[in-house]
Amino acid sequence: MRKSNSINWTKKDLLDLENLSKEEIELILQTAASFKEVSAREVKKVPALRGKTVVNLFYEPSTRTRISFEIAAKRLSADVINIATETSSVRKGETLIDTGKNIEALKVDIIIMRHNYSGAAVMLARHLRASVVNAGDGWHEHPTQALLDMFTLREKLGRLEGLNVSIVGDIAHSRVARSNIWGLTKLGAKVTVCAPKILIPLSIEQMGVRVIHNIEDALAGADAINVLRMQFERDKEKAFPSQLEYFKSFGITKERLKSAKKNIIVMHPGPINRGVEMSSEVADGANSVILEQVTNGIAVRMAVLFLVAQANDYIKKNK
Amino acid sequence: MSQFKEKAKILNAEEIKRTLQRLAHQILESNPNLADIVLVGIQTRGVYLAKRIQATFQEIEAVDIPLGVLDITLYRDDLTTVGVRPVVKETKIDFDLTDKTVVLIDDVLFTGRTIRAALDELMDFGRPKIVALLVLIDRGHRELPIRADFVGKNIPTSKNETVEVRLQELDGLDEVAIGEKVLDTNGYESGANFHE
Protein backbone atom coordinates (compact mmCIF):
# COMPACT_ATOMS: atom_id res chain seq x y z
CA MET A 1 0.00 0.00 0.00
CA ARG A 2 1.11 3.54 -0.70
CA LYS A 3 1.51 5.98 2.13
CA SER A 4 -1.11 8.68 2.20
CA ASN A 5 -0.76 10.74 5.35
CA SER A 6 -1.72 14.01 3.68
CA ILE A 7 -5.17 15.39 4.29
CA ASN A 8 -7.21 17.27 1.74
CA TRP A 9 -8.31 20.87 2.05
CA THR A 10 -12.11 20.90 1.56
CA LYS A 11 -13.16 24.44 2.52
CA LYS A 12 -13.99 27.00 -0.15
CA ASP A 13 -13.19 29.86 2.25
CA LEU A 14 -10.64 30.85 4.84
CA LEU A 15 -12.57 32.78 7.47
CA ASP A 16 -10.85 32.14 10.78
CA LEU A 17 -8.50 29.82 12.60
CA GLU A 18 -10.99 29.04 15.36
CA ASN A 19 -12.81 26.56 13.15
CA LEU A 20 -9.80 24.93 11.53
CA SER A 21 -8.34 21.67 12.76
CA LYS A 22 -4.72 21.28 13.74
CA GLU A 23 -4.23 19.23 10.56
CA GLU A 24 -5.76 21.90 8.33
CA ILE A 25 -3.47 24.56 9.79
CA GLU A 26 -0.50 22.27 9.30
CA LEU A 27 -1.53 21.67 5.68
CA ILE A 28 -1.55 25.43 5.01
CA LEU A 29 1.89 25.86 6.63
CA GLN A 30 3.28 22.88 4.71
CA THR A 31 1.85 24.16 1.41
CA ALA A 32 3.27 27.62 2.14
CA ALA A 33 6.72 26.10 2.63
CA SER A 34 6.50 24.75 -0.93
CA PHE A 35 5.37 28.12 -2.27
CA LYS A 36 8.16 30.07 -0.62
CA GLU A 37 10.63 28.87 -3.22
CA VAL A 38 8.59 30.41 -6.08
CA SER A 39 9.44 33.95 -4.96
CA ALA A 40 13.14 33.08 -5.05
CA ARG A 41 13.02 32.04 -8.72
CA GLU A 42 14.19 34.16 -11.58
CA VAL A 43 10.69 33.90 -13.03
CA LYS A 44 8.61 34.55 -9.91
CA LYS A 45 5.40 33.10 -11.24
CA VAL A 46 3.65 29.74 -11.55
CA PRO A 47 0.55 29.05 -13.66
CA ALA A 48 -1.53 27.43 -10.89
CA LEU A 49 -4.36 30.03 -10.83
CA ARG A 50 -4.20 31.03 -14.48
CA GLY A 51 -7.62 32.22 -15.61
CA LYS A 52 -8.87 32.86 -12.09
CA THR A 53 -9.96 36.32 -10.99
CA VAL A 54 -9.30 37.64 -7.50
CA VAL A 55 -10.86 40.77 -6.00
CA ASN A 56 -9.37 42.64 -3.08
CA LEU A 57 -12.37 44.21 -1.35
CA PHE A 58 -11.13 46.46 1.42
CA TYR A 59 -13.52 48.37 3.69
CA GLU A 60 -10.61 49.55 5.83
CA PRO A 61 -7.38 51.13 4.74
CA SER A 62 -4.56 48.64 4.35
CA THR A 63 -1.33 48.74 2.44
CA ARG A 64 0.76 45.75 3.41
CA THR A 65 -1.99 43.13 3.61
CA ARG A 66 -3.56 44.21 0.34
CA ILE A 67 -0.24 44.33 -1.49
CA SER A 68 0.81 41.00 -0.02
CA PHE A 69 -2.41 39.37 -1.25
CA GLU A 70 -2.08 41.07 -4.62
CA ILE A 71 1.47 39.84 -5.08
CA ALA A 72 0.50 36.36 -3.92
CA ALA A 73 -2.34 36.19 -6.45
CA LYS A 74 -0.16 37.54 -9.26
CA ARG A 75 2.63 35.04 -8.57
CA LEU A 76 -0.03 32.35 -9.03
CA SER A 77 -0.97 33.94 -12.40
CA ALA A 78 -4.44 35.07 -11.26
CA ASP A 79 -5.88 38.40 -12.39
CA VAL A 80 -6.35 40.85 -9.52
CA ILE A 81 -8.68 43.79 -9.10
CA ASN A 82 -8.54 46.13 -6.12
CA ILE A 83 -11.65 47.78 -4.78
CA ALA A 84 -11.25 50.48 -2.18
CA THR A 85 -14.70 51.11 -0.80
CA GLU A 86 -14.17 54.84 -0.26
CA THR A 87 -14.33 55.29 -4.01
CA SER A 88 -16.96 52.66 -4.81
CA SER A 89 -20.75 52.29 -4.83
CA VAL A 90 -20.56 51.19 -1.22
CA ARG A 91 -20.66 54.91 -0.49
CA LYS A 92 -24.03 55.07 -2.23
CA GLY A 93 -25.42 52.71 0.40
CA GLU A 94 -25.05 49.29 -1.24
CA THR A 95 -25.18 46.44 1.28
CA LEU A 96 -22.27 44.06 1.74
CA ILE A 97 -24.25 41.13 0.34
CA ASP A 98 -25.28 43.14 -2.74
CA THR A 99 -21.69 44.21 -3.32
CA GLY A 100 -20.60 40.59 -2.99
CA LYS A 101 -23.30 39.29 -5.34
CA ASN A 102 -22.38 41.91 -7.93
CA ILE A 103 -18.72 40.99 -7.76
CA GLU A 104 -19.68 37.34 -8.10
CA ALA A 105 -21.83 38.15 -11.13
CA LEU A 106 -18.62 39.33 -12.79
CA LYS A 107 -17.43 35.71 -12.50
CA VAL A 108 -14.88 36.45 -9.84
CA ASP A 109 -13.45 33.35 -8.17
CA ILE A 110 -12.02 34.65 -4.90
CA ILE A 111 -12.94 37.70 -2.82
CA ILE A 112 -10.37 38.80 -0.28
CA MET A 113 -12.11 41.05 2.18
CA ARG A 114 -11.12 43.33 5.01
CA HIS A 115 -14.05 44.75 6.94
CA ASN A 116 -14.48 46.80 10.09
CA TYR A 117 -17.32 44.55 11.37
CA SER A 118 -16.54 41.28 13.11
CA GLY A 119 -18.20 38.41 11.29
CA ALA A 120 -18.50 40.20 7.94
CA ALA A 121 -16.40 37.59 6.11
CA VAL A 122 -18.43 34.70 7.53
CA MET A 123 -21.67 36.34 6.43
CA LEU A 124 -20.39 37.08 2.93
CA ALA A 125 -19.08 33.53 2.50
CA ARG A 126 -22.49 32.08 3.36
CA HIS A 127 -24.14 34.04 0.57
CA LEU A 128 -21.63 33.39 -2.19
CA ARG A 129 -20.36 30.50 -4.22
CA ALA A 130 -17.12 32.40 -4.76
CA SER A 131 -14.38 31.79 -2.22
CA VAL A 132 -13.98 34.34 0.56
CA VAL A 133 -10.68 34.94 2.30
CA ASN A 134 -10.81 36.98 5.48
CA ALA A 135 -8.13 39.67 5.47
CA GLY A 136 -9.24 40.94 8.88
CA ASP A 137 -12.75 41.52 10.23
CA GLY A 138 -13.25 43.95 13.10
CA TRP A 139 -11.83 42.60 16.35
CA HIS A 140 -12.56 39.02 15.30
CA GLU A 141 -9.77 37.40 13.29
CA HIS A 142 -6.96 38.04 10.82
CA PRO A 143 -6.14 34.43 9.93
CA THR A 144 -3.42 34.96 7.32
CA GLN A 145 -1.44 37.25 9.65
CA ALA A 146 -1.45 34.58 12.36
CA LEU A 147 -0.54 31.91 9.80
CA LEU A 148 2.45 33.90 8.61
CA ASP A 149 3.51 34.54 12.21
CA MET A 150 3.30 30.80 12.88
CA PHE A 151 5.09 29.98 9.62
CA THR A 152 7.94 32.34 10.54
CA LEU A 153 8.20 30.93 14.06
CA ARG A 154 8.27 27.36 12.80
CA GLU A 155 10.85 28.22 10.18
CA LYS A 156 13.06 29.88 12.80
CA LEU A 157 12.67 27.40 15.65
CA GLY A 158 11.79 24.21 13.78
CA ARG A 159 8.55 23.58 15.66
CA LEU A 160 5.58 25.19 17.36
CA GLU A 161 4.70 22.51 19.87
CA GLY A 162 5.88 23.40 23.36
CA LEU A 163 7.06 26.89 22.46
CA ASN A 164 6.40 29.77 24.86
CA VAL A 165 4.97 32.67 22.89
CA SER A 166 4.08 36.00 24.49
CA ILE A 167 1.74 38.42 22.77
CA VAL A 168 2.12 41.98 24.03
CA GLY A 169 -0.10 44.97 23.40
CA ASP A 170 -3.74 45.81 22.85
CA ILE A 171 -5.16 42.29 23.10
CA ALA A 172 -8.73 43.53 23.52
CA HIS A 173 -8.97 45.16 20.10
CA SER A 174 -6.64 42.86 18.21
CA ARG A 175 -7.81 40.37 15.59
CA VAL A 176 -4.15 39.46 15.12
CA ALA A 177 -3.93 38.38 18.76
CA ARG A 178 -7.15 36.39 18.53
CA SER A 179 -6.08 34.47 15.41
CA ASN A 180 -2.62 33.85 16.86
CA ILE A 181 -4.09 32.49 20.08
CA TRP A 182 -6.37 30.07 18.22
CA GLY A 183 -3.66 28.89 15.88
CA LEU A 184 -0.79 28.63 18.34
CA THR A 185 -2.77 26.80 21.02
CA LYS A 186 -4.11 24.31 18.45
CA LEU A 187 -0.56 23.53 17.43
CA GLY A 188 0.59 23.03 20.99
CA ALA A 189 2.35 26.30 21.81
CA LYS A 190 1.92 27.91 25.24
CA VAL A 191 0.59 31.44 24.83
CA THR A 192 0.91 34.31 27.28
CA VAL A 193 -0.82 37.63 26.73
CA CYS A 194 0.58 40.77 28.32
CA ALA A 195 -1.09 44.18 28.53
CA PRO A 196 -2.49 46.61 31.05
CA LYS A 197 -5.78 45.31 32.47
CA ILE A 198 -7.90 47.68 30.41
CA LEU A 199 -6.56 46.18 27.17
CA ILE A 200 -7.22 42.54 28.13
CA PRO A 201 -10.72 41.25 27.31
CA LEU A 202 -12.70 39.55 30.07
CA SER A 203 -12.46 35.76 30.31
CA ILE A 204 -9.68 35.50 27.72
CA GLU A 205 -8.22 32.75 29.94
CA GLN A 206 -10.91 30.50 28.46
CA MET A 207 -8.97 30.56 25.20
CA GLY A 208 -6.20 28.70 27.00
CA VAL A 209 -3.77 31.55 27.58
CA ARG A 210 -1.90 32.89 30.59
CA VAL A 211 -2.58 36.55 31.40
CA ILE A 212 0.05 38.85 32.88
CA HIS A 213 0.45 42.59 33.16
CA ASN A 214 4.19 42.99 33.48
CA ILE A 215 6.46 43.11 30.45
CA GLU A 216 9.43 41.55 32.28
CA ASP A 217 7.28 38.49 33.03
CA ALA A 218 6.25 38.30 29.36
CA LEU A 219 9.88 38.20 28.27
CA ALA A 220 11.11 35.74 30.91
CA GLY A 221 11.35 32.25 29.43
CA ALA A 222 9.64 33.23 26.17
CA ASP A 223 10.88 31.67 22.91
CA ALA A 224 9.18 34.41 20.97
CA ILE A 225 7.41 37.67 21.58
CA ASN A 226 4.79 39.03 19.22
CA VAL A 227 4.44 42.77 19.74
CA LEU A 228 1.17 44.26 18.55
CA ARG A 229 0.80 47.75 17.24
CA MET A 230 -0.73 50.25 19.67
CA GLN A 231 -3.67 51.60 17.74
CA PHE A 232 -3.65 55.07 19.28
CA GLU A 233 -5.78 56.37 16.44
CA ARG A 234 -8.58 54.06 17.63
CA ASP A 235 -7.99 54.42 21.35
CA LYS A 236 -11.12 56.25 22.35
CA GLU A 237 -10.95 54.97 25.92
CA LYS A 238 -7.56 56.59 26.37
CA ALA A 239 -5.99 53.52 27.92
CA PHE A 240 -2.73 55.39 28.04
CA PRO A 241 -2.15 59.04 28.67
CA SER A 242 0.71 59.14 26.16
CA GLN A 243 2.81 57.06 23.79
CA LEU A 244 5.84 57.71 25.95
CA GLU A 245 3.97 56.33 28.95
CA TYR A 246 3.27 53.14 27.02
CA PHE A 247 6.86 52.81 25.91
CA LYS A 248 8.09 53.18 29.49
CA SER A 249 5.79 50.46 30.77
CA PHE A 250 5.56 48.00 27.85
CA GLY A 251 8.06 49.00 25.17
CA ILE A 252 10.59 46.34 24.14
CA THR A 253 14.10 47.74 24.60
CA LYS A 254 17.58 46.31 24.39
CA GLU A 255 17.83 46.51 28.18
CA ARG A 256 14.62 44.57 28.67
CA LEU A 257 15.75 41.91 26.18
CA LYS A 258 18.80 41.23 28.37
CA SER A 259 16.60 39.37 30.83
CA ALA A 260 15.08 37.25 28.03
CA LYS A 261 16.42 34.17 26.24
CA LYS A 262 19.39 35.11 24.12
CA ASN A 263 17.75 33.93 20.88
CA ILE A 264 14.24 35.18 21.58
CA ILE A 265 12.35 35.86 18.35
CA VAL A 266 10.85 39.36 18.13
CA MET A 267 7.84 39.71 15.84
CA HIS A 268 5.59 42.61 14.90
CA PRO A 269 2.71 42.57 12.38
CA GLY A 270 3.52 46.13 11.27
CA PRO A 271 3.40 49.00 10.80
CA ILE A 272 5.73 49.65 13.73
CA ASN A 273 5.50 52.71 15.91
CA ARG A 274 9.19 53.06 16.66
CA GLY A 275 9.74 54.23 20.20
CA VAL A 276 6.25 53.13 21.22
CA GLU A 277 5.99 49.33 21.06
CA MET A 278 9.70 48.80 20.68
CA SER A 279 12.90 50.73 20.25
CA SER A 280 14.54 51.05 16.86
CA GLU A 281 17.49 49.05 18.17
CA VAL A 282 15.20 46.07 18.80
CA ALA A 283 13.20 46.49 15.59
CA ASP A 284 16.38 46.42 13.51
CA GLY A 285 18.30 44.07 15.83
CA ALA A 286 19.44 40.47 15.52
CA ASN A 287 16.36 39.04 17.25
CA SER A 288 13.89 40.78 14.95
CA VAL A 289 12.22 38.78 12.15
CA ILE A 290 9.85 41.55 11.16
CA LEU A 291 10.86 41.74 7.51
CA GLU A 292 11.00 37.95 7.19
CA GLN A 293 7.37 37.96 8.34
CA VAL A 294 6.55 40.22 5.40
CA THR A 295 8.33 37.90 2.95
CA ASN A 296 6.66 34.82 4.41
CA GLY A 297 3.27 36.48 4.14
CA ILE A 298 3.40 36.05 0.37
CA ALA A 299 4.02 32.29 0.57
CA VAL A 300 1.29 31.82 3.17
CA ARG A 301 -1.24 33.81 1.12
CA MET A 302 -0.29 31.93 -2.05
CA ALA A 303 -0.97 28.68 -0.20
CA VAL A 304 -4.34 29.93 1.06
CA LEU A 305 -5.46 31.19 -2.37
CA PHE A 306 -4.35 27.94 -4.01
CA LEU A 307 -6.10 25.71 -1.47
CA VAL A 308 -9.44 27.56 -1.45
CA ALA A 309 -9.48 27.83 -5.25
CA GLN A 310 -8.90 24.11 -5.64
CA ALA A 311 -11.49 23.18 -3.04
CA ASN A 312 -14.03 25.48 -4.68
CA ASP A 313 -13.41 23.97 -8.12
CA TYR A 314 -13.94 20.57 -6.62
CA ILE A 315 -17.17 21.64 -4.88
CA LYS A 316 -18.58 23.25 -8.04
CA LYS A 317 -17.79 20.22 -10.20
CA ASN A 318 -19.36 17.81 -7.71
CA LYS A 319 -22.65 19.65 -7.13
CA MET B 1 -9.46 6.94 -2.54
CA SER B 2 -8.84 3.95 -4.72
CA GLN B 3 -7.21 0.60 -4.20
CA PHE B 4 -4.61 -1.17 -6.26
CA LYS B 5 -5.41 -4.74 -7.38
CA GLU B 6 -2.13 -6.30 -8.36
CA LYS B 7 -1.79 -8.60 -11.38
CA ALA B 8 1.94 -9.22 -11.76
CA LYS B 9 5.39 -8.15 -10.63
CA ILE B 10 7.52 -6.65 -13.38
CA LEU B 11 10.83 -5.85 -11.70
CA ASN B 12 12.30 -6.99 -8.42
CA ALA B 13 14.88 -5.16 -6.29
CA GLU B 14 17.91 -6.68 -8.04
CA GLU B 15 16.49 -5.88 -11.48
CA ILE B 16 15.75 -2.28 -10.50
CA LYS B 17 19.32 -1.92 -9.25
CA ARG B 18 20.83 -3.31 -12.44
CA THR B 19 18.49 -1.24 -14.62
CA LEU B 20 19.49 2.00 -12.89
CA GLN B 21 23.16 1.15 -13.25
CA ARG B 22 22.68 0.53 -16.96
CA LEU B 23 20.82 3.84 -17.31
CA ALA B 24 23.64 5.69 -15.53
CA HIS B 25 26.13 4.19 -17.96
CA GLN B 26 23.95 5.16 -20.90
CA ILE B 27 23.87 8.77 -19.70
CA LEU B 28 27.67 8.74 -19.51
CA GLU B 29 27.95 7.18 -22.92
CA SER B 30 25.89 9.89 -24.61
CA ASN B 31 27.34 12.79 -22.53
CA PRO B 32 31.05 12.24 -22.01
CA ASN B 33 31.43 15.71 -20.48
CA LEU B 34 30.21 15.03 -16.96
CA ALA B 35 30.63 18.65 -15.88
CA ASP B 36 27.69 19.57 -18.11
CA ILE B 37 25.24 17.09 -16.63
CA VAL B 38 22.69 17.89 -13.95
CA LEU B 39 19.93 15.63 -12.68
CA VAL B 40 16.39 16.79 -11.91
CA GLY B 41 14.01 14.33 -10.24
CA ILE B 42 10.26 14.76 -10.46
CA GLN B 43 8.45 14.43 -7.11
CA THR B 44 8.07 11.96 -5.56
CA ARG B 45 9.61 8.76 -6.83
CA GLY B 46 11.62 10.42 -9.58
CA VAL B 47 13.59 12.18 -6.84
CA TYR B 48 14.64 8.90 -5.23
CA LEU B 49 15.56 7.39 -8.60
CA ALA B 50 17.64 10.49 -9.34
CA LYS B 51 19.43 10.13 -6.00
CA ARG B 52 20.32 6.54 -6.84
CA ILE B 53 21.65 7.50 -10.24
CA GLN B 54 23.65 10.26 -8.59
CA ALA B 55 25.11 7.66 -6.20
CA THR B 56 25.98 5.40 -9.15
CA PHE B 57 27.90 8.27 -10.78
CA GLN B 58 29.73 8.73 -7.51
CA GLU B 59 30.67 5.02 -7.51
CA ILE B 60 31.81 4.67 -11.11
CA GLU B 61 33.26 8.11 -11.84
CA ALA B 62 33.78 9.56 -8.34
CA VAL B 63 31.92 12.77 -9.22
CA ASP B 64 29.04 14.55 -7.56
CA ILE B 65 26.46 15.48 -10.16
CA PRO B 66 24.14 18.32 -9.01
CA LEU B 67 20.65 17.10 -8.19
CA GLY B 68 17.49 19.19 -8.28
CA VAL B 69 13.94 18.42 -7.20
CA LEU B 70 10.89 19.41 -9.22
CA ASP B 71 7.27 19.42 -8.05
CA ILE B 72 5.06 19.91 -11.09
CA THR B 73 1.77 20.39 -9.23
CA LEU B 74 1.48 24.10 -10.02
CA TYR B 75 1.98 23.45 -13.73
CA ARG B 76 -0.56 20.63 -14.07
CA ASP B 77 -3.23 20.91 -16.76
CA ASP B 78 -5.82 19.12 -14.61
CA LEU B 79 -5.74 21.29 -11.49
CA THR B 80 -9.42 22.07 -11.87
CA THR B 81 -10.71 18.63 -12.81
CA VAL B 82 -12.77 16.39 -10.61
CA GLY B 83 -11.01 14.64 -7.80
CA VAL B 84 -7.62 16.21 -8.27
CA ARG B 85 -6.53 18.01 -5.14
CA PRO B 86 -2.84 17.35 -4.97
CA VAL B 87 -0.51 18.39 -2.18
CA VAL B 88 2.16 20.83 -3.28
CA LYS B 89 5.61 19.45 -2.49
CA GLU B 90 9.05 21.01 -2.51
CA THR B 91 10.78 22.31 -5.63
CA LYS B 92 14.47 22.94 -5.20
CA ILE B 93 16.94 23.65 -7.98
CA ASP B 94 19.76 25.60 -6.38
CA PHE B 95 22.13 25.58 -9.34
CA ASP B 96 22.09 27.31 -12.71
CA LEU B 97 20.54 25.31 -15.55
CA THR B 98 21.87 27.56 -18.29
CA ASP B 99 23.83 25.62 -20.92
CA LYS B 100 23.57 22.39 -18.91
CA THR B 101 22.40 18.98 -20.07
CA VAL B 102 19.45 18.32 -17.77
CA VAL B 103 18.49 14.70 -17.26
CA LEU B 104 14.88 14.82 -16.15
CA ILE B 105 13.96 11.71 -14.16
CA ASP B 106 10.57 10.16 -13.42
CA ASP B 107 9.37 6.71 -12.46
CA VAL B 108 6.68 6.03 -15.07
CA LEU B 109 6.10 7.65 -18.48
CA PHE B 110 2.41 7.41 -19.44
CA THR B 111 0.40 10.21 -21.09
CA GLY B 112 3.35 12.61 -21.16
CA ARG B 113 1.42 15.35 -19.36
CA THR B 114 3.65 15.30 -16.29
CA ILE B 115 6.67 15.76 -18.53
CA ARG B 116 5.00 18.63 -20.39
CA ALA B 117 4.42 20.35 -17.04
CA ALA B 118 7.98 19.60 -15.93
CA LEU B 119 9.42 21.08 -19.13
CA ASP B 120 7.41 24.29 -18.69
CA GLU B 121 8.59 24.57 -15.10
CA LEU B 122 12.23 23.87 -15.98
CA MET B 123 12.21 26.68 -18.51
CA ASP B 124 11.22 29.11 -15.75
CA PHE B 125 14.51 28.24 -14.04
CA GLY B 126 16.78 28.93 -16.99
CA ARG B 127 17.74 27.83 -20.48
CA PRO B 128 19.33 24.39 -20.53
CA LYS B 129 21.35 23.29 -23.54
CA ILE B 130 19.56 19.95 -23.70
CA VAL B 131 16.82 18.34 -21.67
CA ALA B 132 16.85 14.54 -21.79
CA LEU B 133 14.21 12.32 -20.22
CA LEU B 134 14.95 9.21 -18.17
CA VAL B 135 12.18 6.94 -16.92
CA LEU B 136 12.27 3.61 -15.14
CA ILE B 137 9.12 2.40 -16.92
CA ASP B 138 7.57 3.46 -20.23
CA ARG B 139 4.02 2.11 -20.35
CA GLY B 140 2.87 3.80 -23.56
CA HIS B 141 -0.43 5.66 -24.23
CA ARG B 142 1.10 9.07 -24.94
CA GLU B 143 -1.30 11.98 -25.33
CA LEU B 144 1.43 14.49 -26.25
CA PRO B 145 4.44 14.33 -28.58
CA ILE B 146 6.92 13.34 -25.88
CA ARG B 147 9.43 10.48 -25.75
CA ALA B 148 12.04 9.27 -23.30
CA ASP B 149 15.79 9.22 -24.10
CA PHE B 150 16.68 6.62 -21.47
CA VAL B 151 14.17 3.88 -20.65
CA GLY B 152 14.55 1.23 -17.96
CA LYS B 153 11.86 -1.04 -19.30
CA ASN B 154 9.06 -0.79 -21.83
CA ILE B 155 5.84 -2.37 -20.61
CA PRO B 156 2.81 -2.76 -22.86
CA THR B 157 -0.28 -1.93 -20.79
CA SER B 158 -3.95 -1.32 -21.33
CA LYS B 159 -5.21 2.12 -20.47
CA ASN B 160 -7.14 1.10 -17.38
CA GLU B 161 -4.15 -0.67 -15.89
CA THR B 162 -1.77 1.00 -13.44
CA VAL B 163 1.95 0.59 -12.99
CA GLU B 164 3.21 1.06 -9.44
CA VAL B 165 6.86 1.70 -8.76
CA ARG B 166 7.67 0.97 -5.12
CA LEU B 167 10.91 2.20 -3.66
CA GLN B 168 12.63 1.33 -0.40
CA GLU B 169 12.74 4.96 0.75
CA LEU B 170 8.96 5.39 0.58
CA ASP B 171 7.40 1.96 0.39
CA GLY B 172 9.85 -0.22 2.30
CA LEU B 173 10.84 -2.36 -0.67
CA ASP B 174 12.02 -2.10 -4.28
CA GLU B 175 9.68 -3.50 -6.92
CA VAL B 176 7.53 -2.61 -9.91
CA ALA B 177 4.07 -4.11 -10.23
CA ILE B 178 1.23 -3.89 -12.72
CA GLY B 179 -2.43 -3.99 -11.70
CA GLU B 180 -5.76 -2.22 -11.84
CA LYS B 181 -7.19 0.62 -9.82
CA VAL B 182 -10.47 -0.19 -8.07
CA LEU B 183 -12.54 2.70 -6.72
CA ASP B 184 -13.64 2.48 -3.10
CA THR B 185 -17.37 2.10 -2.54
CA ASN B 186 -17.50 5.30 -0.49
CA GLY B 187 -15.66 7.22 -3.21
CA TYR B 188 -14.25 10.65 -2.52
CA GLU B 189 -15.07 12.71 0.50
CA SER B 190 -16.85 15.99 -0.07
CA GLY B 191 -16.76 17.92 3.17
CA ALA B 192 -17.22 21.39 1.77
CA ASN B 193 -18.28 24.26 3.97
CA PHE B 194 -20.53 25.81 1.36
CA HIS B 195 -23.96 26.78 2.68
CA GLU B 196 -26.84 27.42 0.33
Domains of chain A, by residue range, sit at 22-141+297-314, 143-294
Q: Using only C-alpha atoms, what is the Rg of chain A?
A: 20
pLDDT band at B195 (very low <50, low <70, confident <90, very high): very low
- Do residues A143 and A168 make contact, with C-beta atoms less than 8 angstroms apart? no
Least Cα separation, residue A172 to chain B (angstroms): 29
- Asked if B157 and B178 touch (Cβ cutoff 8 Å), the reply is yes
Choice among A53, A65, A185, A192 that is catalytic:
A65
> pLDDT digits over A36-78, tens only?
999 988 889 999 999 999 999 999 988 899 999 999 999 999 9
Per-residue model confidence as pLDDT tens digits over A280-305: 999 999 999 999 999 999 999 999 99
Q: Which residues 200-259 in chain A show a CB within 8 A of chain B? A: none
The reply to whether residue B88 touches residue A47, judged by beta carbons under 8 angstroms, is: no
Distance CA A193, CA A164 (A): 11
pLDDT at residue B63, rounded to an integer: 92
Contact: B121, A129; criterion CB under 8 Å = no
Whether B73 contacts chain A with CB within 8 A: yes
Pairing of strands B175-183, B2-11: antiparallel
Candidates A66, A75, A115, A142; catalytic one? A142
Q: What is the pLDDT of residues A133-145, one digit of tens each?
A: 999 999 999 999 9
Ranking A47-51, A288-292, A313-317, B53-57 by mean pLDDT, the lowest is A313-317
Give, to the nearest 10 degrees, the angle between helix A22-36 and helix A175-186.
100
State in words which class domain A143-294 has: alpha beta
State how far the Cα of A111 lies from the Cα of B64, in Å rounded to an integer: 48
For A56, A280, B54, B132, the CA distances from A70, given in Å and listed in that order, are 8, 29, 40, 37
User: Has residue B77 been placed in a domain?
Assistant: yes
Answer positive or negative: Cα dihedral of A193, A197, A198, A201: positive
**Chain A window 88-127: which residues touch B at a Cβ cutoff of 8 Å?**
126
Active site residue A253: no
pLDDT confidence of residue B85: 66
Number of domains in chain B: 1
Q: Is-catalytic flag, A154?
A: no
Q: Which residue of B has its CA nearest to A29?
A: B88
What's the start-to-end Cα distance of chain A, in Å?
A: 31
Residue B2 lies in a domain: no
Q: Could you confirm whether domain A22-141+297-314 is CATH 3.40.50.1370?
A: yes
Averaged pLDDT, B82-88: 67
CATH code: domain of residue B150: 3.40.50.2020
Interface with chain A: mutation pick from B3, B76, B85, B189, highest number of A CBs within 10 Å: B85
Confirm whether A22-141+297-314 and A143-294 share one CATH topology. yes
Is A314 within 8 Å of B190 when comparing Cβ atoms? Answer: yes
- State which residue of chain A sits closest to B124, comparing Cα positions: A43
Using one digit for the tens of pLDDT, what is the confidence trace for B162-181? 999 999 999 999 999 999 98
Please tell me the predicted confidence (pLDDT) of residue B192.
31
Closest to B47 (Cα-Cα) out of B68, B17, B28: B68
β-bridge mates for residue B5, sequence order: B180
Q: Where is pLDDT greater, at B163 or B188?
A: B163
Question: Which domain covers residue B147, as residue numbers?
Answer: 32-159
Query: What would the 3-class secondary structure string for B80-127 be?
Result: CCCCCCCCCCCCECCCCCCCCEEEEEEEEECCCHHHHHHHHHHHCCCC
> pLDDT tens digits, residue range B107-165?
999 999 999 999 999 999 999 999 999 999 999 999 999 999 999 999 999 999 999 99
